[in-house]
């Protein structure tokens, strides 16, 4: 039960089909920040047919359009929490919350709280409500609970919190007391990363065990694939241990803290002070390559890509409203992409090259990009991808377009590995319009 106020828009005000806009004051954060939004979308129908939605935009001072940061159409019977990373920016901006009631006859969108704090959404010291958007995945026998403070709901002798090192602080813990089956797991799921990030994820943990406890950290991407990120190797500890792992999230993913027990005598595990730093954990002797350095959706700029303007007119970063003649961008349908255009020369022409940042040697890369071509002629070789060594002497064509233009986004995927540092470049000989978006992952 809570008492208090919230802000809402609903169909009882005769606003069916309308859009309600809530505008923040002008904001400035020189640092990476996290917007936490507690909201509810409620409808009378089980499966809402109308286009009811809550959108959050960033409006940057001096720009004539808004960046869509997040959208939700999920209706629920309780409050939901959304955590949205806003990367460090030097300009002033406003947050716009847009509630669209669509064609629902009985519907409401309510916002209970908006909180902006500096730091990453994935960070948490578990000292405030809502657990920073972390969620326990419910299991009948083992679950993550809040420990510390005045909470005395466990029969185990639990540790003191790490943040304050006193009895008032809080942390998360899992206790084996009610484990009934072999290999029961408790999962604590982080908020989903929505903004690309890479660096060092760190946390403090404590394991008190009598019999077999496995603490593993996974990442889970949107279509449900798990990847192991880290596993505890210390069998037992009587104090908080620091865990650190390199973490790269070029696309949305969740981090899952999983504890597996073998029996009810498994002991407990406690977790506190999850934090993130944009530099990798240690400068190990090996090559540290983050795919973020070579990934670009061209939403804000060219990232680490560049052009040599001596080569030709070059690519332009554009944003167009999709219509019968033009596509929207591939990422959101509303964002930016690169456009090469020969319409002013009326002749097919050489456009230029787009260069990737330098890629370390001896790693297997997967280059994925989306392109669309418009024109009246055969497109063979009009768009090609080359690899060249840093000294620009050796050049190798690894891909070129072979189909006739179809005016739709097509995905291309190329894997390669080179014994020396190299760059990827596109050679564009474009007829009418060429569209391009670029993603590069180490595979």
- Contact positions toward Ca ion, by CB under 5 A? 125-126, 161, 163, 169, 171, 272
Rounded Cα–Cα distance for residues 439 and 443 (Å): 12
Distance between CA atoms of 350 and 217, rounded to whole angstroms?
Answer: 49
Give the nearer residue to Ca ion in terms of CB position, either 40 or 163: 163
Q: How far is the CB of 193 from Ca ion (least distance, A)?
A: 22
Geometric angle at alpha carbon 111, from 17 and 11, rounded to 5°: 25
Going by C-alpha positions, the residue among 132, 67, 122, 121 that lies closest to residue 94 is 67
Least Å distance between CB 189 and Ca ion? 18
310 — phi, psi (to 5°)? -70, -25
Nearer to Ca ion, 125 or 329 (CB): 125
User: In the bound complex, what is the minimum distance in angstroms from residue 32's beta carbon to Ca ion?
Assistant: 21
Q: Which helix (H) or strand (E) holds 178?
A: none
Considering the complex, what minimum distance in angstroms separates the CB of residue 145 from Ca ion?
A: 14
Residue among 171 and 370 whose Cβ is closer to Ca ion? 171
**Closest separation in Å from C-beta 164 to Ca ion:** 7
Measured distance CA(111)–CA(331) in Å, rounded: 27
- Residue with smaller CB distance to Ca ion, 126 or 240: 126
Q: State the nearest-atom distance from the C-beta of 259 to Ca ion, in Å.
A: 18
Query: In terms of DSSP bridges, do strands 349-355 and 422-430 run parallel, antiparallel, or are they unpaired?
Result: antiparallel
CB of 87 to Ca ion, least distance (A): 26
Please, what is the minimum distance in Å from the beta carbon of residue 27 to Ca ion? 28
CA distance 302 to 354: 10
Q: For Ca ion, which is the closer residue by CB, 125 or 175?
A: 125
Nearer of residues 93 and 126 to Ca ion, judged by Cβ? 126
- Cβ closer to Ca ion: 169 or 335? 169
The alpha carbon torsion through 353, 357, 362, 366 (nearest 10 deg) reads -70
Q: How far is the CB of 138 from Ca ion (least distance, A)?
A: 22
Residue closest to Ca ion when measured from CB atoms: 163
Nearer to Ca ion, 171 or 215 (CB): 171
Rounded alpha-carbon distances, angstroms, from residue 9 to 18, 38, 100, 113, 292: 10, 15, 9, 15, 39
Q: Which is nearer to Ca ion, 173 or 280 (CB)?
A: 173
Question: 400 with 380: CB under 8 angstroms?
Answer: yes
Which residue from 15, 5, 6 is spatially nearest to 106, judged by alpha carbons? 15
Could you tell me how far CA 382 lies from the centroid of its own chain?
33
Residues shown for the chain: 443
| 66 vs 127 by CB, closer to Ca ion | 127
**Phi, psi (deg, nearest 5) at residue 12:** -65, -20
Identify any residues that bridge with 124 across adjacent strands, giving them in sequence order. 274
User: Which residues are 315's β-sheet partners?
Assistant: none
Read off the tokens for 307: 């052009």
DSSP label at 61? T
The Cα-based distances of 81 to 20, 53, 76, 84, 331 in angstroms read: 20, 15, 11, 10, 24
Smallest distance, Å, CB 318 to Ca ion?
A: 47
């Amino acid at each position: 039960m809570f008492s208090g106020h919230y802000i809402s828009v609903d169909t009882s005000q005769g606003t069916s089909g309308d859009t309600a806009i809530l505008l923040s004051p002008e904001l400035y954060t020189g640092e990476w920040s996290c917007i936490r939004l507690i909201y509810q979308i409620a409808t009378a129908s089980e499966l809402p047919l109308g286009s009811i939605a809550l959108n959050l935009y960033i409006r940057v001072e001096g720009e004539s359009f808004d960046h869509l940061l997040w959208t939700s159409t999920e209706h629920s019977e309780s409050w939901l929490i959304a955590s949205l990373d806003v990367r460090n920016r030097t300009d002033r901006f406003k947050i716009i919350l847009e509630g669209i009631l669509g064609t629902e006859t009985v519907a409401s969108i309510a916002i209970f709280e908006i909180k902006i704090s500096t730091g990453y959404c994935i960070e948490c010291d578990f000292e405030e409500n809502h657990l920073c958007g972390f969620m326990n995945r419910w299991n009948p026998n083992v679950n993550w609970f809040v420990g510390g403070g005045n909470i005395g709901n466990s029969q185990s002798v639990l540790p003191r919190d790490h943040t304050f090192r006193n009895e008032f602080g809080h942390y998360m813990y899992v206790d084996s007391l009610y484990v009934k089956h072999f290999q029961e797991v408790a999962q604590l799921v982080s908020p989903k990363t929505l903004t690309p990030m890479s660096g060092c994820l760190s946390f403090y943990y404590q394991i008190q065990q009598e019999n077999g406890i496995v603490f593993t950290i996974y990442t889970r991407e949107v279509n449900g694939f798990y990847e192991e990120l880290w596993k505890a190797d210390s069998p037992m500890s009587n104090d908080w241990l620091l865990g650190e792992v390199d973490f790269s999230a070029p696309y949305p993913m969740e981090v899952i803290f999983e504890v597996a027990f073998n029996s009810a005598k498994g002991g407990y595990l406690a977790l506190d002070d999850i934090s993130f730093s944009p530099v990798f954990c240690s400068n190990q002797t090996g090559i540290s390559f983050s795919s973020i350095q070579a990934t670009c959706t061209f939403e804000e700029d060219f990232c680490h890509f560049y052009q040599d303007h001596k080569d030709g007119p070059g690519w332009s970063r554009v944003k167009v409203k999709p219509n019968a003649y033009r596509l929207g961008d591939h990422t959101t349908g509303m964002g930016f992409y690169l456009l090469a255009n020969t319409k002013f020369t009326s002749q097919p022409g050489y456009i230029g090259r787009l260069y990737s940042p330098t890629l370390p040697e001896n790693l297997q890369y997967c280059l994925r990009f989306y392109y669309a071509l418009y024109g009246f002629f055969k497109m063979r070789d009009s768009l090609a991808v080359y690899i060249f060594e840093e000294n620009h002497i050796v050049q190798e064509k690894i891909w070129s377009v072979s189909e006739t233009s179809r005016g739709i986004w097509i995905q291309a995927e190329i894997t390669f590995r080179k014994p020396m540092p190299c760059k990827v470049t596109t050679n564009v000989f474009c007829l009418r319009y060429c569209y391009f978006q670029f993603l590069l992952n180490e595979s």
